[in-house]
Structure formats: C-alpha cells, structure tokens
Amino acid sequence: AKDLAVSMGKMVILDPAPAKGDLPDSIWKDVDYIKPNETELEILVGRSLHGEKELREAATELLAKGVKNVMVSLGGDGLLLLNEDGCEFFPANKVTAVDTTAAGDCFTASFALALSKGESVDEAIRFGQKSSAIAVTRKGAQTSIPTLEEVLNYVPNEK
C-alpha cells in the first residue's frame, strides 16, 4: 500500500499500531510521517528507551532509514516532532482523561485532515492535539471522536 501511494505521488502517514519489530528497512523509505507512541518506538527500534534523549536517538534512527518526519506521542505530556530541521516539542492540552482509547487514532486522523486542508505541520499537530484532548475526556473509541465543529470551537484549558 505504501509503495502504491508513493508511486501515485501521495503523502504517506504511518501510525505503527500495533507495532511490530524486525520490519524490513524498505518500509521506512518514503514515509512522510510516522507517529509511534513511546512503547511503539521501543518496539520499532528493538530496545527499551528511557528519557527524552533516548527517544530522540531512536527517532533519529528512523530518520536515517528514510522516514521524513517522526512524531513521538508522549501521551498527556505532548509530542516530539523530529525531522532534518531538528526537534520541536508540542505540549499537550491539559485535560482530565477519562479513557485514552482511540486517542492516537483520533490524533493521526485529525492531523491528516488538517494537512489535506493545507494547514502547516505545526497547525496540523495542534489540530490533532485538540481532537485527541477532547476524545480522552469521553468513554469509548468511536463514541469519543469529536465533530469538526467541536474541535474548531475547542479552547485549551490552562492548567
């Protein structure tokens, strides 16, 4: 599927959940964005990671294999974006989480939607974070996903 998308000039966004180790190196080339959480990143690189320095090093390994952008989800702490330009941290919107089911899927879908509408990467990340912040305040998977209107009207809580 990735190779077909690339051959058609499409953007490739990979959310490696559930993550698998020992993937062929060919999978990484031409991936525009990959969004592992900390545990998934550990599985992808085949070792335990402790602290931000090791997360950055592991993400850099994926960049060296051909991924263009690595977005490491840090749950309620935020997200690290790594690419050839460096590393940027996006703090999470502070909410009281009820159920984190589907938070990553909600983020990735919202991120992709924002990019498809011409938003910048930073704007797309923030849009995805707003969506997932709303989702974790609700129980369930599909039932927790906010509407576009809810996300557009979301005002982050300053805790």
Residue 30 bears catalytic tag: no
Cβ-Cβ contacts under 8 Å for 30 (sequence gap 6 or more): 2, 6, 12, 66
Q: Give me the catalytic one of 15, 30, 105, 122.
A: 105
Distance CA(147)–CA(92), nearest Å, equals 19
Q: Please return the burial class of 22, using the count of CB atoms within 10 Å of its CB with bins 0-12, 13-18 and 19+.
A: exposed
Single out the residue of 45, 3, 50, 56 nearest to residue 21, CA to CA: 45
Distance CA(13)–CA(2), nearest Å, equals 9
* DSSP three-state, residue 121: helix
* Catalytic positions: 105
